[in-house]
Every structure is written in C-alpha cells, then in structure tokens.
Structure 1
Amino acid sequence: MKHRFISKRYWNDISTPMGKIGNFIRKYDNLINLSLGDPDLTTDERIINLAFEDAKNGHTHYTDFLGDIELREEICKYYKNTYSYYVKLEECMITTSGCHGMWLVLESILDDGDEVIIHEPYFTPYPQQIKLARGKPVILETYEEDEFQVDTQRLKGLITNRTKAIIINTPNNPTGTCFSRKTLEAIAKVAIQNDLIIIADDIYTSFSYAEPFIPITTLEGMKERTITIGSFSKDYCMTGWRIGYVLAPSFIIKTMKDVNENNVFTAPSISQRAALHALRLKDEIQPPMVEEYKKRIFYAYERINMIANMSILPPRGSLYLFINIKETGLSSMEVADRILHEAHVLVLPGNAFGAFGEGYIRIAVTVGLEQLKEAFDRIENIDIFNKKIY
C-alpha cells in the first residue's frame, strides 16, 4: 500500500495468491486444506524429547556463529555417507530456515542489478527474494510436455553479462518434477562454460520416488560453484522449528556469517539440537514418513486420472501434484475458487507460481488418505469436472 511511512519499494502490492490463502482457511467449518506444503505429521516424539532434554541441560544459549558444531559435523557425515561427498566444517552454516538461507545467499553474492535465472513454475518467494537482494529475476519457462525439465538451449538464451546465478529446485515445488541426471549434467555444463553459480534449493531430497536424488554439487567440477540450501522442514516434518543449512565454498560461508551477524545472529539453539537428533535418527524416522506421503501422492494421482477435465503427469517427487485444468476453459483462479466454494477444498491456483503456472492448480498431500478421498469425492461432483466442456 502507498503510505509515506512505508518504503516506496513496497507501495505496489507484492502479495501473491499463496499469501492470500490465510483469508480462506477458516471460511468453512468442513474445509479440507490442500494448499500449503506444511506436513500434517507432527515432528517425531523422539526428536522433541531429545531436543528438550538438551534444553534442560543448558543448550539455551547462542551457538557458534556458523551453527552448533555437532550439528554441522553430522551434516558433513550425512553427505559423506549418503553421496560420498566431502564437506568441511567451514563449508557449512546453519540458518533459520531454508528461506532465510536463500536470502543470506543472495545478499552475499549479488551486486545491484545482477541477474538470477529461475525456472518457472517456481517456488513463489524466489522473485521477491532476489529483488530484496537488489538483483533481477530472469524467468526460464518449463513445459509439461518436457516434464518440466530445464531446456538448456532456452537457458543459454537467457544468459547475459549480468547473469550471476541459476536457482534450481528438484524435486520441485510446485510441479513435482525431478531433474534427471542428464538435465543436471547439462545445467552444470552451462554453469561451468559461463562461470555461473548454481543455487541448489534442495528442500525435498527425501521425496524422490522414481530414482535416488542427485545433488548437483556432487557432479564433477560443481563443488566450487554450487551453493546448496537444505532444510529440515519437509524431510523431517519440522516446519515450525525453522531450521536449515547452507553448503558453499568457505569464503561464501564467511560472508554469509558476517551478513547474518546483522540479521538473526545465530539460529535457535534448541532447533539446532532437534535437527541434530533428526539426522541421527534418520534411518528410523524417514522411511515410514516418506512411504506415507508416497501412498497419498499415488492415491491422488489415480483419482485425478478418473476426473474429467483434469490431467497430470505421473508422480516423480515432492509433496505436490500440479494438475492441468485447461480443459475446463477456466483460469487457474476461477477453478480454485469453484473448488473452494463448491467443494470446500482449498487448493492453490497455478499462477501463484508464475505466469507459466496458468492453466494448473497445485495440491499438497498434507492430509491423510481418508480426507484425500473426501476431497476428491467432493471435487468430482463439481459440474466442470463431471462432464466434458465444449
């Protein structure tokens, strides 16, 4: 809004359809919320109990400026054991969520006017996060017919003298796509040839259903030019703990630390202890959790295939399904509104994720199978989904 007390940068409305959904969550008593990707499973009780035991034992103070040393050691061990990838302590920093990590990264690497390429549909905050760091977002469109993989010829066509970085997100929010090794290697080749940074937003690493997740930083020649952002929010059902991390060359990590001293100083100590225990209990906690969400994803996929004027690619990863509703003849917002008001199910319109999300809606499988069944039972009774539109 325009007001003399508000920065002119924010006089124009920068809110998005995602940001406005809070207005609808309490609209109907029987609402089924498939909008935000907040896992409905509570953080495993063992993590909670161990973290609070640590708090009682004195872990209530500032940690090391780069983060709890035990936690950073455990993250380094995880990458070594899982990917045969070696990370030094000084190449790892704990952040107050993945989003905070992204801001610290952008603030640390961008000069005014530097361009950052993001593939669209994209995680909603990316453009504003880049602008907050005085950069310029550049859109790389991806298409359903390409399974939303990045086309490197289109990527090359966007590179200018001001291009500094490329953000990649796989498994992807919102499309659910998982970049193939071929795609990752092609992106890496472009980055090396043009001396660019890759910012890998690796938030859904545990939710790669078709084949194991590959961190782009592990590819040959990429460690020196990759910044990896990780989070415990989705992989461990810990959204409220607000804890993430960044892996990067030590000189970038040092700069991020210096920036963060003027921001939040250190991430919450108790949350860091919870993350430490999550990693140590990973093999016990993650498999049943991932299997639960996989069941939900494939159930939703089967239901979508039975509904007229909806179509969807086979599930590949993440907690999301990006549903093509172009056959309805309506816009993404119109379809989302019809589903809300007629079925009392809250979904996100595809244009919340950029212009190339128009013609789609996104659902998050963050409710159980019983509620998913009820949601689709209601949706398929809306007239635009139970008959052919001409």
Structure 2
Amino acid sequence: MKNKYISKRYWKDKSTPMGKVDELAKQFNDVIDLSLGDPDLITHDIIIDNSMRDAKLGYTKYTDFRGDPELREEITKFYKEEYGLTIKDEEIFVTASGCLAMYLVLEAILDDGDEVIVQTPYFTPYPQQVELARGIPVPLNTYENEDFQIDTDRLEKLITERTKAIIVNSPNNPTGSTLTPKTIEGIRDIAVKYDLIVISDDIYTSFCYEEPFIPIICTDGMKERTIIINSFSKNFTMTGWRIGNIIAPDYIIKVIQQINENVVFTAPSISQRGAIYALRNRKKVQKPIIEEYKKRVFYSADRINGIPNMSVLSPKGTFYLFVNIKRTGLSSAEASDALLKEAHVLTIPGIAFGECGEGYIRLACTVGIEKLKEAFDRIEKMEIFHKSGEDKLWKTLS
C-alpha cells in the first residue's frame, strides 16, 4: 500500500496465499482446514505441567541472553546422544521461534546485495527474510520427477561472486522430501569448493519415514560452515510456545546475540522451561506424535493417488503432501479456490512456495483420520478431478 507514512520498501504488496488462510477459513462453517502446519494435537502434559510448576517457582524473568543455561545443556546432550556430535555451549543460541532464528542468522551474515540460494519449493517466509536482511534470494528449483532432490549441477551454476549462503530444508516443507546422503555430500562439496555457508532448517527432523535424520553438520568438513535452525513447534507440537534455537560457530553466535538484544532481548522464559522438558522426555513425548502423523500422511497419500487428476509421491517426511494437480488444467490458485468453494477444504496453492510450486497444492495432515476421510470423500465428488483439462494450462506454460 502506497502511503507517505509507510516505508517505500512495503509499498508493493508482498502478501502471499499463506497469509490469507484465516479469512478464507471463515467463509464456510464446515471448512476442513488442511492449510497451515499447526498441529491439532496439544502439547504433552509433561511439558505443560512442568512449565506451570516452574512458573510458580519464579521462572518468569529474563533468562541469560543466549538462553536458559539448563536448556543449552539439554541441547548439547541431545546432539551428543542422538548424533554423536559435540556442540559447545558457546555455539548455541535460544530464540523466540524458528522464524526469528532464520532472520537473526541472515541479519548476522549478510552484507547488502549478498546472494542466498534457496532450495525451492520453499517455506514461504524465506525470500522476504533474505530481503529484510538486505540480501538477494536466488531460487534453486527442485522437481517431482527428481524426487525434489537438489541437483548439484544446477546449484553450482547459480553461484556468483556475491553468493554467501545456501538454505536447505530437509525434511522439506512443503514437498515432504528428504535429501539423500548422496545429495548432502554433493552440497558439501560445493559449499567447501566455493567457501559458502549452509543454513540448514531442521524443523521436521522427527518426521522421517524411510531413513533416520542425520544433520548436514555431521558431514565431513561441514561443522565450521553449517548453521542449524531448530524449532520445538513441530517436533513437539509447541507452535504457540514460540521457541527455537540456533547452532553456529561461536563468532556468529556473538553477533546474533547483539542483534537479538535489540529485537526481543531474550526468548520467553516459560517457553524455554517447556523446551527443557521436551528434550528430556523426548522419547516418551514424541513417539505417539510421530505414529499419529505417519498414519495420517500415508492414509492421505493413498486417498490422493486413488483420485483421478491428483497424485503425490510416497511420503518420506513431515506431515505435508505436495499434491500434483496439473492434469486438471487449473493453476494451483484456481485448484485451491475450487477445493474451498466446492468441497469446503482449505489448502495452500503451490505457487505460495515458489514458481516451481505451480501445478501443486499443499495439504497439511493436521486433522484426524475421520476428518481426513471426510475431506477426501468431498474432494472425490468434484468434477475437476474427473475430467481432463491438462491442455488448458500446461501447454500454454510449456
């Protein structure tokens, strides 16, 4: 919106379909919301009860600037126990969410005009977060016929003298793909060759359905050039607690601390206590969460692949499905709009995740099996998924 009292940076509307879902969900009183990745399951009682107790014990003040020392210790233990990786205390910074963590990292490492290569389809905020830090986002497209793996030849061709970092996200939001060891090694080779930083968004690490998650930081030569973004939102169903952390070389952490003191000062104390109990009790807390979402996502994939003009790859990670709707002949926005108006099912059009997301919609399996069944029963009755409209759109785009 153009207005003399608004920064010129924001005169051009940069809103995305992701930002419109709240209003869309209110259009009908029977909407089944498969849009945002906000789990329907509430945080485990172990986390809630212990955090409430700690609040009454006085844990309601500012914490240490880098985060509650007990939480930093638990993060160190986690990496040692899960991956055999030694993370020093001074390499940890606790943040008020994974989103803020990404912004703080970009603000700390980018100079004006630095380029950041972004694995695409991407989590919607990435490009604007890069721009907020005065950088330039450079999309690195991935494709369904390549299992949404990063093609290292395409990656290398995007590198210029201004390239500073690469953002990767595995398991990936929105595609649900996971990077293979071979792909990770290829990224490592390029990062070392061109002396680049890899920012690894490790938000969905508990939801890996084929192979266990191994952080890219564990790959030879990557410890000194990897920055990890963590969040408790999805792995522990703690979206509203707004708590995450950064793992990075200590000199980067020092800069991040300086920036954060001028943004939120410290992360919420009670949320940090919740994160402590989440990590300490992760085996008990996470097992039912993982089992539930695995059941949902595989059920949904089976239903999708039984509907004409819809298809999806076998789930590998996360609780999202990136559904191919190209045979309908509709754009992703048109298909998403039709799903809402005709079936009262709310989804996110693939274009929200970058240009190579066109031709897809993203479903978040954040409701139970009964609701998912109802959603797909409605979708199956829609005419657009039974008639061929492929020529309408895709020939004009090719």
TM bracket, shorter-chain basis? over 0.9
Between the aligned partners of 1:288 and 1:22, the Cα distance in structure 2 is 28
Matches within 5 A, 1:103-114: 103-114=103-114
- In the TM superposition, residue 385 of structure 1 has moved relative to its aligned partner by 1.3
Q: Which residue of 1 aligns with 2:169?
A: 169
Residues 292-343 of structure 1 show CA distances to partners (whole Å, capped at 9, x for unaligned) of 0000000000000110001111100011000000000111111101100000
Q: Which residue of 2 aligns with 1:206?
A: 206
Q: Which residue of 2 aligns with 1:355?
A: 355
Matches within 5 A, 1:1-390: 1-389=1-389
Between the aligned partners of 2:157 and 2:207, the Cα distance in structure 1 is 31
Between the aligned partners of 2:370 and 2:386, the Cα distance in structure 1 is 21
Between the aligned partners of 2:29 and 2:88, the Cα distance in structure 1 is 51
Between the aligned partners of 2:336 and 2:299, the Cα distance in structure 1 is 21
Q: Extract structure 1 runs of 4+ deviating beyond 6 A.
A: none
Instruction: Say which is worse superposed, 19-28 or 235-244, in terms of deviation.
Output: 19-28
Between the aligned partners of 1:262 and 1:388, the Cα distance in structure 2 is 55
Between the aligned partners of 2:188 and 2:25, the Cα distance in structure 1 is 41
SS at the partner of 2:275? Answer: helix
Does the 8 Å contact 2:328/2:387 carry over to 1? no
Between the aligned partners of 2:171 and 2:120, the Cα distance in structure 1 is 14
SS at the partner of 1:41? Answer: coil
Instruction: Give the letter for the 1:150 counterpart.
Output: I
Between the aligned partners of 2:188 and 2:60, the Cα distance in structure 1 is 41
The sequence identity of aligned pairs, in percent, is: 62
Between the aligned partners of 1:283 and 1:192, the Cα distance in structure 2 is 35
Q: Number of aligned pairs?
A: 390
Instruction: Say which is worse superposed, 93-102 or 379-388, in terms of deviation.
Output: 379-388
TM-score, with normalisation over the residues of structure 1? Answer: 0.99
- In the TM superposition, residue 386 of structure 1 has moved relative to its aligned partner by 2.9
Between the aligned partners of 1:11 and 1:377, the Cα distance in structure 2 is 43
Does the 8 Å contact 2:34/2:346 carry over to 1? yes
TM-score, with normalisation over the residues of structure 2? Answer: 0.97
Between the aligned partners of 2:99 and 2:11, the Cα distance in structure 1 is 23
- In the TM superposition, residue 29 of structure 1 has moved relative to its aligned partner by 0.6
- In the TM superposition, residue 262 of structure 1 has moved relative to its aligned partner by 0.7
Q: Structure 1: 5+ residue runs without aligned partners? A: none
- In the TM superposition, residue 388 of structure 1 has moved relative to its aligned partner by 4.0
SS at the partner of 1:200? Answer: strand
Residues 15-66 of structure 1 show CA distances to partners (whole Å, capped at 9, x for unaligned) of 0011111211111111000000001100001210100100100101110100
CA RMSD between the two structures: 0.7
Between the aligned partners of 1:110 and 1:216, the Cα distance in structure 2 is 21
Does the 8 Å contact 1:260/1:266 carry over to 2? yes
Q: Which residue of 1 aligns with 2:396?
A: none
- In the TM superposition, residue 389 of structure 1 has moved relative to its aligned partner by 4.1
Instruction: Give the letter for the 1:80 counterpart.
Output: K
- In the TM superposition, residue 77 of structure 1 has moved relative to its aligned partner by 0.2
Between the aligned partners of 1:160 and 1:227, the Cα distance in structure 2 is 21
Instruction: Give the letter for the 1:61 counterpart.
Output: K
Between the aligned partners of 1:119 and 1:46, the Cα distance in structure 2 is 36
SS at the partner of 1:209? Answer: coil
Between the aligned partners of 2:23 and 2:270, the Cα distance in structure 1 is 32
Does the 8 Å contact 2:329/2:388 carry over to 1? no
Between the aligned partners of 1:128 and 1:29, the Cα distance in structure 2 is 33
Instruction: Give the letter for the 1:173 counterpart.
Output: N
Residues 49-102 of structure 1 show CA distances to partners (whole Å, capped at 9, x for unaligned) of 100100100101110100000000000100000000000110000000000000
Q: Which residue of 1 aligns with 2:394?
A: none
Does the 8 Å contact 2:150/2:183 carry over to 1? yes
Instruction: Give the letter for the 2:26 counterpart.
Output: R
SS at the partner of 2:17? Answer: coil
Does the 8 Å contact 1:308/1:388 carry over to 2? no
Between the aligned partners of 2:19 and 2:188, the Cα distance in structure 1 is 33
Residues 216-264 of structure 1 show CA distances to partners (whole Å, capped at 9, x for unaligned) of 0011110100000000000000000000000000000011001111110
Instruction: Give the letter for the 2:221 counterpart.
Output: G
Instruction: Give the letter for the 2:129 counterpart.
Output: Q
Between the aligned partners of 2:222 and 2:241, the Cα distance in structure 1 is 31
Between the aligned partners of 2:256 and 2:163, the Cα distance in structure 1 is 20
